[in-house]
Amino acid sequence: MATRMKLKLKTVFVLYFMVSLMGLVYALMQLGQRCDCTEHNMPKDRTISRLRGELHRFQEQIRKSEATKQPQKQPAKPTIFVITPTYARLVQKAELTRLSQTFLNVPQLHWIVVEDSPHKTPLVTDLLVKSGLTYTHLHMPTAKDRKLQEGDPSWLKPRGVEQRNEGLRWLREDRRAQAGGDNQQGVVYFADDDNTYSLQIFEEMRSTQRVSVWPVGLVGGMKYERPVVEGGKVVRFHTGWRPSRPFPMDMAGFAVSLKLVLANQEACFDGNAPMGFLESSLLQGLVTMDELEPKADNCSKVLVWHTRTEKPKMKREEAVQAQGLGSDRAVEV
């Protein structure tokens, strides 16, 4: 009985061992087989192809809408018309070179150069042709009795008056000749040929609605002159001389909108204005102090300087000329 029991246990054990072994062998065989995953991956594949289809449809829609879309028009920047009087002297080419190269860095600028001369000179003509700027070249001589004579103090007579007025005349006539010219957005600025202009001042003035104003450095015997702004409005002027003038500002410190210039056809500079009243002679017919638009951070930044170029001394040149050894006249300076 005991032997039979032993035998049975042994058989059970052997059987158990065999079955486990077979199970193990089967499992090992399965490891090497490739799995048929089709069923497994079906939903994933379907999602991918559905998304692909949608992407394709979206791409088609974008392509079609872009093809039919009108090219988007950026609102054009208002043109800045810069009126510059200039006259022949030793430093003229240097001044105009510096100025033109500043203006090259200002977008949408039209330079109106008015020579104080009975004719256009080759020096200015050539400089403008080569400048790469949009320009208009005009000339208007200052009447003899109004012109500063050699040795006169510079403040004795106003300078650049007939030239600025000629620039205004041309601008008004030119706009009249253009369709919709009366309504064109634009700004008018009077830039003397010897001042120093930062590029930023042009972007400040571009949004001028009527008359915009800002400080001017190194002018009127002061570090700067400027409109004083309170609550966003000009309330008075910081100046060292006759603050009671209607607009005690330098020419470089304001710009006028083209619309205002066109709406006031008679507005111009008065060559007979007393000293220091030239700017006021134009502005008092156009605007009130209350309407002035302060720029340059409420007139707290100096972005233009009333620099003046020293007259070059020619003592040596004259001395060598007397010996027949003067500089070659054919070399333009």
Q: Which residues are catalytic?
A: 279
Question: What x/- string results for residues 172 through 211 when contact with ligand UGA is judged by CB under 6 A?
Answer: --------------------xxx-----------------
Place of tokens 């650049």: 160
Judged by CB under 6 A, the residue of 78, 158, 227, 271 near ligand UGA is 158
Question: What x/- string results for residues 253 through 282 when contact with ligand UGA is judged by CB under 6 A?
Answer: -------------------------x----
Residue 166 as a binder of ligand UGA (CB under 6 A): the answer is no
Work out what residue 109 binds among ligand UGA, Mn ion, none; the CB cut-off runs from 5 to 8 Å by kind: none
In the structure encoding, which two tokens stand for residue 81, read together? 């018309």
| Alpha-carbon distance values, 111 to 134, 137, 171, 201, 262 (Å) | 6, 8, 11, 16, 18
By C-beta, is 175 or 304 nearer to ligand UGA?
304
Nearest CA to 163 among 244, 269, 26?
269
Q: How far is the CB of 141 from ligand UGA (least distance, A)?
A: 9
By C-beta, is 70 or 154 nearer to ligand UGA?
154
By C-beta, is 83 or 287 nearer to Mn ion?
83
Binders of ligand UGA among residues 15 to 74 (CB under 6 A) are none
Position closest to ligand UGA via CB: 160
By C-beta, is 184 or 286 nearer to ligand UGA?
286
Residue 100 as a binder of ligand UGA (CB under 6 A): the answer is no
| Residue ranges binding Mn ion (CB under 5 A) | 192, 194
Question: Is residue 271 within 8 Å of residue 189, measured between CB atoms?
Answer: no
Position closest to Mn ion via CB: 194
Question: Is residue 136 within 8 Å of residue 83, measured between CB atoms?
Answer: no
Binders of ligand UGA among residues 273 to 332 (CB under 6 A) are 278, 306, 308
Work out what residue 85 binds among ligand UGA, Mn ion, none; the CB cut-off runs from 5 to 8 Å by kind: ligand UGA
Q: How far is the CB of 73 from ligand UGA (least distance, A)?
A: 37
- Binding footprint of ligand UGA on the chain (CB under 6 A): 84-87, 116, 142, 147-148, 154, 158-160, 163, 192-194, 250-251, 278, 306, 308
